[in-house]
Amino acid sequence: MQSDDTLRDIIAGRRRFLRLLALMGLGIGAAGVVSPAAEAATRIKKKVEKARVVKFRRASRPTRAPQAQTHLIDRYDTPSYAEDQFEFVSPSEKTLSLIAPTTGEKALGIPFWSEGKYQPDAIREVAHIMRDWRTGDTCPVDTALLDLLYDLQRRLGTTEPFQVVSGYRSPETNAALARQSRRVARQSLHMEGRAMDIRMARRGAGEIQRVALSLGRGGVGYYPRMGFVHVDTGPVRQWRG
């Protein structure tokens, strides 16, 4: 029995000694000396990280053949891609480029919407270009008309300015035009800054009309003989002049 007790004491003593050694090892590790166990752990960690990087590289390796990629890039240049892109890109700034052919004045890249709101100074500049050149009168511009023109220009896939054939019309000018032509409405949206007759140097009126109709907003009047398109922010409708 005595020998058993002695043996138990020796084992317990060894265990205590080993525990002490382990604690000392931890202490040394903490003091900056890397223990073999800690070294092994670091090696394993590095291996795992390396494996992860390799796995990531494999996963991110392109799977498309070079020909397929070239085809993809070509597709980006086609108008259909421009139209697709139009649906998803939310711009941080909306600009408009207008030319008044009667006066030769230009307003290019006017940022009428930026920093999340309409910009009154820029809109005043647009109103000036849109003014009734017969009387010099201006009128507040419907911001929905600016948005419509902006979207129309983007869908046309161009930054070419719109030529303002007719923008704002004062009541006198509209009455005079209505006397000359029965095509001119007596209560025209041109009198409210909600309509514009436009043309472009490089785009036919037919194309502008087609794209304007695709927006599904407001009125679209097509005047092929005069070579312009009327757009407004009234109810959705279309006619041919």
Nearer to Zn ion, 142 or 197 (CB): 197
- Give the nearest distance from C-beta 109 to Zn ion in angstroms: 24
- Give the span between the Cα atoms of 229 and 226, in whole angstroms: 9
Nearer to Zn ion, 122 or 205 (CB): 205
- Give the nearest distance from C-beta 231 to Zn ion in angstroms: 8
**Other Cβ atoms within 10 Å of 14 Cβ, number:** 10
Nearer to Zn ion, 76 or 239 (CB): 239
Residue 49 parent element (H or E): helix 36-60
- List helix spans (H) across 117-197: 120-129, 143-155, 171-180
Nearer to Zn ion, 110 or 189 (CB): 189
DSSP state of 212: H
- Give the nearest distance from C-beta 118 to Zn ion in angstroms: 23
Contacts with Zn ion, residue ranges (CB under 5 A): 197, 230
CB neighbour class for 75 (10 Å; exposed up to 12, middle 13-18, buried from 19): exposed
DSSP state of 169: -
- Give the nearest distance from C-beta 216 to Zn ion in angstroms: 19
For the beta sheet containing 219-223, the strands, ordered from the edge strand earlier in sequence to the opposite edge, are 117-118, 105-114, 93-100, 162-166, 195-199, 228-232, 219-223, 237-240
- Give the nearest distance from C-beta 190 to Zn ion in angstroms: 6
Annotate 183-198 with three-state secondary structure.
CCCCCCHHHHCCEEEE
Nearer to Zn ion, 96 or 189 (CB): 189
